């Protein structure tokens, strides 16, 4: 045989260099066969071209790790919290509370205790400092975590993990640039030892390496990273994976053992293109790869927002047109004024008012407490589980109703009510483009589709988005509507509308990076003329609505800046002292040589490598002077509130009849890419958008105690009122839901199609949308499979689960979901929402629920074979007794995968091009077969048993599912049985023994029926 020669090229690749916020260094070996022996002798240079392409494919990291995290209302977060609150979760919490004291070596003998003690000593942290978790080493094992951490999750952790969290929380406070782990983004691996796991990284906004079994804590979210999120951090599209009911541990292991998808794609593409690049380079040695890029259709516009890419281009009315024209849009401002008056109170009462409500549930405790200093709201039950001693908690009124039926509104019913009231589409009136210079010249040609309805703290949030090219390109702007309280601790409810333009951040040249501010706002408030602020009655006579005018943000300039005198007195313990740091922390940090990667390139009067000389004290009283407008002048007192504000730093100036209260606090740079900003605002929470009055440039509390740094530059944030010509409009919708009375009710159609529960039956029509333009149809079908048979059909199915399922689902949510959800909220579907209906299977035994191979294919059966001599030796050496190995048939696995691809889906969406319609069909048999398969397969139940399986289905929103209605688990006993006497015994049986004997005899006769109950929730 002829010898083959191969060359190699080894390169090290980091995942964060290819668009994913994860530090994952892996080495890749590129191997290729030398085409000529002389090239091998002289050195084949194909590896250099492979490396060039790899370097060219590197992309800047545009999104931080927080952008890949699920919202707290996501169904997976909700299910995880339900599991923590369930019976097994409570059982684990009870076992954790019985642990021996971690810091009592003679009692617990935990091997990690010396590492924790050394870590605290070296970093100057007090031994009993437990700032975050508040765990106790006594016999009760009580934990009182800081508000923000999930109490039910903290109860799952052992003392080692709790102490590790407290060590890391104090360590990030110890840094010269102090950070607050409850308000800044950190990722802590609790599965490692305290001395091995890093508690901060130089690459801000980037998480550590995702590993199997790694437990990554996000302290600013109060929880750990889910397996779903780990897959996203690897670039794996979870929604396209054909997975079953895998647990979070299994998903985490899957993500930890995987390779990052963008990195794998980049190496494969480089390997394919390297030979061609070498050939092109030999023809022209002046070719530079960095000069080449993919061209785009509108590249000459430099990323500007163009009117011709909007869906209203050429359809907008001109100023002065006949106003009686029925195609003219109606004013949305009037609709929102009416909504603010009718729904603002209900919106606040049904909003998130406690941490336990942040994942979709509603607390069962009627009493809600609110801190009168910082605005922390918490239910009475959670107030005993979290650390709230430093807060001034008082009960607030959260009922909204009329007459005697006063109660807190159900959030799911209110969401449907809100969807019915608000418009699903908006547009800007003529004149906005002249005011918003940064938006370009085409924003008035775009419609804003309702994309999100979220339940937030103190209010509900509506998000409208505007996209280019009918949802197929970039998002250019958004409109946010907040209904409820417009600010923390404000007694008035109302409505606030904010407009944000993305044009500055999507330009090709010098795009804006960092936080993008809102461009305009409109505030509508309701006031109740009542003497008691905590008792608000629902009387229309006492309600008055104040409607402001649209305001435009003024760009920052020297005209809006001034110098303030900020003088502090009455020193009190600083945050570092409260956390438990001592002089050792100061001395070690002073003698430590900081790495350049951890020092921000920012000019400052404060040292970024060591502490301020007065680091132990903060001012208890601050006097602010120098504001000519007298908005922020006054005396501010430090409040006792801890954990809920950044660094527990909050000062308040009491309000009066002529001036509202003012607060000084820090607004965090969450991803730690810069310094935190001290601001003076009208509310005590940095979560309240656009409530800041001014920003204190380069200010820390210690500056107020030093005379040389009492002068501080302040940048005031100004808003200019505009005229009455700026408005929001509700355009006439071309796409609308068709109310076809000829359509058969959904459940009747299902009942008549029992024999058609197979893969070719997509289910009856649930709803129809008419009026789809050719541009919308092209956008929806852009990524559909190029099937010749499909192209001949007039009705084309949209792929929602296949190769392009993610992109098609996004298009559908942008273009059609707003109208579909409003149609459902109006209860105009052919099926009642949240109502249970019963269905039955066909008479064929192969189609009984749970046994249909078309709906639920059977998994390949595992086989065990005797291992080869070498593998048997290795297995015996490692396990000492087994020499078998498990194998699967490759062909059977491939057939199983193909069957999964052909499985019918519960929902099917198709487009009728000839009629311009969108059809939504639902097949409940799919869900029925999946639910039954989990209970019936693998058991010798018999055909008669499977025939009697009862299946009910209902259509509901994930957010309205709530927690499952579980019952207590009862162990069967013999208390209800009669006593049986045994004459042969010398001593009589006890009563409980005699009853147990009676029950055992009944079991032998087959008279006792054993109940079996399994619960499973599949998303």
pLDDT in tens, 385-417: 999 999 999 999 888 755 445 688 999 889 999
The proportion of the chain whose per-residue pLDDT surpasses 70, expressed as a percent, equals 86
Mean pLDDT for the stretch of residues 334-349: 92
What CA–CA distance (Å, rounded) separates 75 from 77? 5
SS (H, E, C) 84-139: HHCHHHHHHHHHHHCCCCCCCHHHHCCCCHHHHHHHHHHHCECCCCCCCCCECCCC
Q: Are 768 and 918 in contact (CB under 8 A)?
A: yes
Distance spanning both ends of the chain, measured CA to CA: 57
Residues 522, 333: contact at Cβ < 8 Å?
yes
**Tokens representing residue 640 in the block:** 């006792």
List all residues 6 or more positions away from 476 whose beta carbon is below 8 Å from its beta carbon. Answer: 305, 443, 446, 466, 467, 468, 501, 502, 503, 506
696-742 confidence digits (pLDDT tens):
999 999 999 999 999 999 999 999 988 788 889 998 877 888 876 65
Beta carbons of 863 and 887 less than 8 angstroms apart: yes
pLDDT tier for residue 592 given thresholds of 50, 70 and 90: confident
Mean pLDDT confidence for 912-918: 90
472 pLDDT band (50/70/90 cuts)? confident
The pLDDT of residue 74 is 85
710 or 295, which is more confident = 710
In the DSSP assignment, the letter for residue 289 is G
Side-chain half-sphere exposure of 808, counting CA atoms within 13 A? 23
Which distant-in-sequence residues (6+ apart) come within 8 Å of 932 by Cβ? Answer: 848, 849, 850, 851, 949, 951
Q: What is the mean pLDDT of residues 108-133?
A: 90
What's the pLDDT at 321? Answer: 46
| DSSP 3-state of 676 | coil
527/64: higher pLDDT: 64
Candidates 358, 70, 73; CA nearest to 233 is 70
Q: How far apart are CA 729 and CA 427, in angstroms?
A: 5
Say which residue the tokens 């280019």 belong to: 468
Higher pLDDT among residues 550 and 960, named by residue: 550
Q: CA–CA separation, 104 vs 328, rounded Å?
A: 76
3-class DSSP state for residue 422? coil
Quote the pLDDT of residue 538.
Answer: 45
Q: Is the pTM of this model over 0.75?
A: yes
Q: Which residues contact 653 (CB under 8 A, 6 or more apart)?
A: 624, 634, 635, 636, 637, 661, 662, 663
Answer yes or no: is pLDDT of 240 > 60: yes
The highest-confidence range among 548-552, 751-755, 956-960, by mean pLDDT, is: 548-552
- pLDDT average, residue stretch 798-819: 86
Report d(CA 991, CA 987) in Å as an integer: 12
Q: Is the pLDDT of residue 756 over 70?
A: no
Q: Is residue 845 scored above 70 in pLDDT?
A: no
Q: What is the DSSP letter of 309?
A: G
Q: What is the pLDDT of residue 790?
A: 56
Name the band, by pLDDT with cuts 50, 70 and 90, for residue 786: low
Predicted confidence (pLDDT) per residue in 190-205, tens digit: 999 999 888 888 788 8
Which of 225-239, 562-576, 785-799 bottoms out in mean pLDDT, i.e. has the lowest? Answer: 785-799
Confidence of residue 1018 (pLDDT cuts 50, 70, 90): very low
Q: Tell whether the model's pLDDT for residue 763 goes beyond 80.
A: no
pLDDT bin (cut points 50, 70, 90) of residue 966 is very low
Query: Within its chain, how far is the Cα of 573 from the centroid?
Result: 36
Task: Report the SS3 class of residue 1008.
Answer: coil
Confidence of residue 598 (pLDDT cuts 50, 70, 90): low
R_g of the chain, CA atoms, integer Å: 33
Is residue 679 within 8 A of residue 694, CB to CB? The reply is yes
Q: What are phi and psi of 415, to 5 degrees?
A: -60, -45
Contact 604, 674 (CB under 8 A): no
Both tokens of residue 553? 């943000």
What pLDDT score does 869 carry?
61
For residue 618, the cross-strand partners are 572
**CA distances to 220, 375, 579, 743 from 644, in Å:** 11, 9, 14, 54
Instruction: Please spell the DSSP secondary structure of 155-212, one letter per residue.
Output: TTS-HHHHHHHHHHHHHHHHSSS---TTTS---EETTS-TTTS-S--SSTT-B----T
With cut-offs at 50, 70 and 90, classify the pLDDT of residue 153: very high
Phi, psi of 438 (to 5 degrees): -75, -10
Structural contact between residues 681 and 660, judged by C-beta atoms closer than 8 angstroms: no
Residues 6+ apart with CB under 8 A from 145: 132, 133, 134, 151, 154, 385, 386, 387
The residues, ordered by sequence, that sit 6+ positions from 346 with a Cβ below 8 Å of its Cβ are 400, 409, 414, 417
Question: What pLDDT was estimated at residue 126?
Answer: 93
pLDDT (0 to 100) of residue 317: 47
What is the structure's pLDDT at 682?
A: 94
Sign, Cα dihedral of 848, 850, 854, 858: negative
> What is the rounded average pLDDT for all residues in the chain?
84
The predicted-structure confidence for 937-962, as pLDDT tens digits, reads as follows 877 666 667 777 888 888 887 655 55
pLDDT, position 1005: 87
* pLDDT at 231 > cutoff 80: yes
Our CA angle for 101, 106, 112, nearest 5°, is 65
CA atoms of 271 and 29, how far apart (whole Å): 11
Return d(Cα 129, Cα 147) in angstroms, integer: 17
Please state the three-class secondary structure of 5-30 as a single string.
CEEEEEEEEEHHHECCCECCEEEEEE
């Amino acid at each position: 045989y002829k010898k083959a020669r191969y060359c190699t090229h080894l390169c090290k690749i980091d995942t964060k260099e290819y668009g994913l916020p994860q530090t994952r260094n892996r080495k890749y070996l590129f191997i290729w066969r030398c085409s000529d022996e002389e090239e091998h002798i002289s050195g084949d240079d194909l590896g250099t071209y492979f490396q060039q392409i790899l370097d060219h494919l590197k992309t800047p990291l545009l999104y931080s790790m927080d952008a890949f995290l699920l919202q707290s209302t996501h169904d997976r977060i909700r299910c995880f919290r339900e599991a923590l609150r369930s019976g097994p979760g409570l059982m684990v919490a009870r076992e954790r509370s019985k642990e021996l004291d971690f810091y009592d070596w003679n009692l617990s003998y935990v091997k990690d205790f010396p590492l924790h003690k050394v870590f605290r000593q070296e970093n100057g942290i007090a031994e009993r400092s437990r700032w975050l978790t508040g765990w106790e080493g006594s016999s009760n094992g009580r934990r009182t975590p800081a508000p923000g951490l999930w109490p039910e999750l903290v109860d799952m952790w052992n003392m080692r993990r709790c102490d590790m969290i407290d060590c890391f929380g104090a360590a990030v406070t110890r840094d010269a640039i102090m950070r607050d782990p409850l308000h800044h983004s950190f990722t802590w691996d609790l599965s490692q030892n305290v001395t091995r796991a890093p508690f901060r990284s130089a690459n801000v906004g980037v998480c550590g390496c995702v590993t199997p079994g790694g437990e990554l804590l996000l302290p600013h979210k109060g929880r750990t990273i889910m397996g779903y999120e780990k897959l996203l951090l690897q670039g794996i599209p979870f929604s396209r994976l054909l997975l079953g009911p895998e647990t979070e541990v299994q998903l985490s292991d899957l993500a930890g053992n995987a390779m990052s998808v963008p990195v794998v794609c980049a190496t494969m593409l480089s390997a394919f293109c390297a030979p061609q690049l070498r050939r092109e380079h030999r023809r022209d040695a002046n070719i530079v790869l960095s000069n080449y890029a993919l061209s785009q259709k509108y590249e000459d516009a430099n990323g500007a927002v163009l009117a011709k890419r909007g869906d209203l281009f050429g359809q907008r009315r001109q100023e002065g047109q006949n106003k009686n024209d029925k195609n003219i849009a109606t004013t949305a401002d009037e609709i929102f004024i009416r909504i603010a008056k009718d729904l603002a109170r209900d919106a606040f009462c049904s909003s998130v008012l406690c941490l336990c409500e942040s994942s979709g549930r509603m607390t069962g405790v009627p009493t809600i407490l609110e801190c009168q200093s910082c605005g922390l709201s918490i239910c009475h039950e959670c107030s005993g589980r979290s650390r709230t001693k430093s807060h001034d908690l008082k009960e607030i009124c959260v009922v909204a109703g009329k007459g005697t039926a006063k109660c807190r509104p159900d959030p799911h019913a209110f969401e449907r009510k809100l969807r019915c009231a608000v418009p699903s589409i908006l547009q800007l009136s003529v004149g906005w483009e002249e005011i918003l210079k940064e938006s370009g010249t085409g924003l008035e040609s775009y419609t804003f589709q309702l994309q999100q309805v979220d339940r937030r703290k103190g209010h509900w949030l509506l998000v409208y988005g505007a996209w280019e090219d009918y949802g197929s390109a970039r998002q250019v702007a958004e409109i946010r509507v907040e209904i409820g309280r417009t600010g923390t601790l404000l007694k008035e409810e109302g409505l606030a509308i904010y407009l944000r333009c993305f044009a500055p951040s999507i330009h090709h040249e010098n795009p804006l990076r960092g936080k993008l501010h809102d461009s305009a706002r409109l505030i509508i408030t309701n006031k109740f003329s009542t003497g008691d602020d905590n008792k608000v009655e629902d009387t229309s006579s006492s309600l008055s609505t104040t409607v402001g005018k649209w305001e435009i943000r003024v760009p920052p300039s020297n005209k809006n800046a001034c110098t303030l005198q900020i003088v502090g007195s009455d020193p009190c313990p600083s945050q570092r002292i409260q956390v438990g740091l001592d002089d050792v922390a100061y001395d070690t940090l002073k003698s430590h040589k900081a790495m350049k990667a951890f020092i921000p390139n920012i000019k400052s009067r404060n040292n970024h490598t060591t502490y301020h000389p007065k680091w132990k004290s903060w001012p208890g009283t601050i006097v602010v002077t120098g504001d000519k407008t007298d908005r922020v002048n006054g005396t501010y007192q430090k409040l006792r509130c801890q954990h809920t504000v950044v660094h527990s730093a909050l000062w308040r100036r009491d309000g009066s009849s002529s001036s509202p209260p003012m607060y000084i606090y820090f607004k965090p740079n969450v991803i730690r890419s810069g310094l935190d900003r001290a601001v003076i605002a009208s509310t005590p929470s940095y979560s309240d958008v656009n409530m800041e009055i001014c920003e204190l440039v380069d200010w820390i509390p210690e500056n107020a105690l030093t005379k040389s740094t009492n002068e501080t530059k302040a940048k005031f944030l100004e808003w200019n009122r505009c005229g009455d010509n700026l408005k929001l409009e509700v355009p006439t919708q071309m796409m609308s839901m068709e109310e076809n009375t000829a359509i058969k009710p959904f459940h009747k159609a299902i009942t008549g199609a029992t024999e058609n529960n197979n893969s070719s039956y997509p289910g009856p029509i649930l709803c129809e949308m008419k009026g789809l333009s050719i541009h919308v149809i092209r956008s929806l079908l852009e990524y559909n499979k190029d099937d010749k048979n499909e192209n001949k059909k007039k009705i084309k199915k949209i792929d929602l689960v296949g190769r392009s399922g993610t992109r098609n689902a996004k298009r559908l949510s942008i273009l059609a979901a707003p109208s579909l959800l409003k149609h459902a909220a109006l209860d105009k579907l052919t099926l009642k929402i949240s109502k249970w209906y019963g269905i039955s299977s066909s008479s064929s035994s192969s189609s009984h629920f749970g046994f249909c191979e078309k709906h639920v294919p059977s998994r390949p059966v595992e086989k065990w074979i005797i291992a080869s001599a070498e593998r048997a030796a290795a297995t015996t050496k490692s396990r000492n007794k087994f020499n078998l190995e498990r194998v699967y048939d490759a062909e059977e696995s491939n057939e199983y995968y193909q069957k999964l691809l052909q499985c019918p889906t519960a929902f099917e969406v198709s487009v009728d091009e000839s009629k311009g319609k969108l059809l939504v069909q639902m097949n409940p048999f799919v869900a029925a077969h999946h639910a039954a398969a989990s209970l019936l397969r693998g058991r010798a139940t018999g055909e008669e048993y499977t025939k009697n399986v009862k299946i009910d289905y209902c259509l509901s929103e994930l957010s309205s599912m709530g927690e499952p209605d579980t019952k207590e688990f009862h162990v069967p006993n013999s208390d209800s049985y009669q006593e049986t006497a045994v004459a042969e015994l010398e001593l009589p049986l006890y009563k409980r023994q005699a009853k147990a004997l009676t029950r055992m005899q009944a079991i032998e006769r087959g008279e006792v029926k054993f109940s079996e109950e399994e619960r499973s929730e599949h998303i």
